[in-house]
Structure 1
Amino acid sequence: MLIDTNPHITDINKVVADISAQASNSSLLTVAIAGAPGSGKSTLAAKVATKLGDTCCIIPMDGFHLDNVTLTKRGLLSVKGAPETFDLAGFSHLIEALKDGSAQQFPTFDRDQDSVIDNGGTVPDTASILLFEGNYLLFDEPGWVELADKWDASIWLDVSEAVLEERLIQRWLDQGMSPEAAKARVQMNDLANARRVLEKALPAAWVISN
């Protein structure tokens, strides 16, 4: 994993330049963008991908949410978004399949429908940089910790808990929840997941305050 000597930065242009430089020496580069729920991973991934152009493809970990029927059977629906509510084995397998060229499609997640879309994304033939984004890509718990070895470089988003809470409440408001329900959902589930991620975060090549 590429480790920057001064990783706390705010200018994503430097990150993009470093990624581009490393990609020129590799047939396929894997980059992880990790952080707590609400830290802005998807937004940052989109900005980085726009700057990198058609050499980059974003692959969200959210495509590996277990479906609600499975979560209900396991008693996990109320904690959806926690590490145990994802298909870690499937995600790990996809990473390897994309790297060795045996797969080109990947699942995505529709937040409005609260469901996974099988084969919702496709890695274009022009892509030499796979930009993965998700909460648990740099997560020091059994099973998840092995993912860190799959990244050639990584970005961690550093966001205060107060900002996370504000963003997460707004996320649920945007999904049609009442202010009371949105705040309860964040307090009971989202912030618990966020604290777990923050407590078990592994080192990243770059840390960006967001």
Structure 2
Amino acid sequence: MPDAALAPLPDDLRRRVEALLASTTADGVPRRRLLGVTGPPGAGKSTLSARLRAAFADRCVVVPMDGFHLAQTELERIGRADRKGAPDTFDAAGYVALLRRLREPAPGQTVYAPEYRRDLRNGVAGAIAVPADVPLVVTEGNYLLLDDHGFAPVRDLLDACWYVELPEEVRAERLVARHRLFGKSADAATAWTHGPDQRNADLVAGTRARADLVVEVP
């Protein structure tokens, strides 16, 4: 959805981000802040991240965790393609390494992050530019609060993390619609939503208590 079509960011969330960005160095330069947006598949993480990007414009870049999906060919090689999206189908170590670079950017250096392309079913390297002077990096994904499968360091690399949730029936409807949009039949979309996606959602739900804030995105 283009940013222009998004609903405005709620005022309470805007104030929280402004408070996060209020910290500066001794020279008055804004400190880089990393805000995590997590939650189960289909809860609205990407929508909330897009609203944050629209609200803070040139002060914000969104870096999704999904760019670290293992390639489709690699998932097929190791026998995990039938549960793509599970924690062990990501390069968690690569994602952690990127977050560390983003936390402490070298002066004047742009960091490049990968982006997942659903139409290609693969990540594209170097697709997202994060200039050193951007004070807010929003990173969104399912497993930001997970403490196993290599994701344990993520929580400490975030200045704040919000958990997005929706009523289960609404979330499932959105997932089915998304899978159909990207080529699955109605039966296959439903089976994937209530199979692999639901198993991942149950895992993510167990991390909810570690979030700083729980929000619902209409």
Q: TM above 0.5, one fold?
A: yes
- In 2 relative to 1, CA 104–71 (structure 1 residues): closer, same or farther, beyond 3 Å? same
CA contact (8 A) 1:105 1:122 kept: yes
- In 2 relative to 1, CA 50–146 (structure 1 residues): closer, same or farther, beyond 3 Å? same
CA contact (8 A) 2:88 2:149 kept: no
Would you identify which runs of 4 or more consecutive aligned residues in structure 1 move more than 6 Å? none
Q: Which residue does the alignment assign to 1:56?
A: 60
Q: Which residue does the alignment assign to 2:76?
A: 72
Deviations 1:155-206 (A, max 9, x none): 1112222222111100011112221111112122111111111123342222
SS, match of residue 41 in structure 2: coil
SS, match of residue 46 in structure 2: helix
1:101, distance to aligned residue in structure 2 (A): 1.3
CA contact (8 A) 2:98 2:113 kept: yes
Which shows bigger deviation, 17-26 or 77-86? 17-26
1:68, distance to aligned residue in structure 2 (A): 1.2
Q: Which residue does the alignment assign to 1:190?
A: 197
SS, match of residue 153 in structure 2: helix
Letter in 1 for 2:93: A
Q: Which residue does the alignment assign to 2:11?
A: 13
1:147, distance to aligned residue in structure 2 (A): 1.0
Q: Which residue does the alignment assign to 1:180?
A: 187
Q: Which residue does the alignment assign to 1:101?
A: 105
Alignment partners' CA distance in 2, 1:193 and 1:22: 30
Alignment partners' CA distance in 2, 1:42 and 1:154: 14
SS, match of residue 144 in structure 1: coil
Q: Which residue does the alignment assign to 1:120?
A: 127
Deviations 1:134-171 (A, max 9, x none): 01111243532321111111111122222221111000
Alignment partners' CA distance in 1, 2:76 and 2:149: 23
Q: Which residue does the alignment assign to 1:5?
A: none
> Which one has more relative contact order, counting CA pairs under 8 Å at least 6 apart?
1
Q: CA RMSD in A?
A: 1.6
Alignment partners' CA distance in 2, 1:156 and 1:48: 14
Q: Which residue does the alignment assign to 2:156?
A: 149
If the length of structure 2 is used for normalisation, what is the TM-score? 0.86
Please list every run of 5 or more consecutive structure 2 residues that lacks an aligned counterpart in the other structure: 1-8, 25-30
Alignment partners' CA distance in 1, 2:82 and 2:215: 31
Alignment partners' CA distance in 2, 1:80 and 1:167: 18
SS, match of residue 208 in structure 2: coil
Alignment partners' CA distance in 2, 1:205 and 1:181: 35
Between Structure 1 and Structure 2, how many residues are aligned?
200
Matched, 1:164 2:171: yes
Letter in 2 for 1:192: R
Counterpart among 8, 19, 23 of residue 25 in structure 1: 23
Alignment partners' CA distance in 2, 1:194 and 1:114: 20
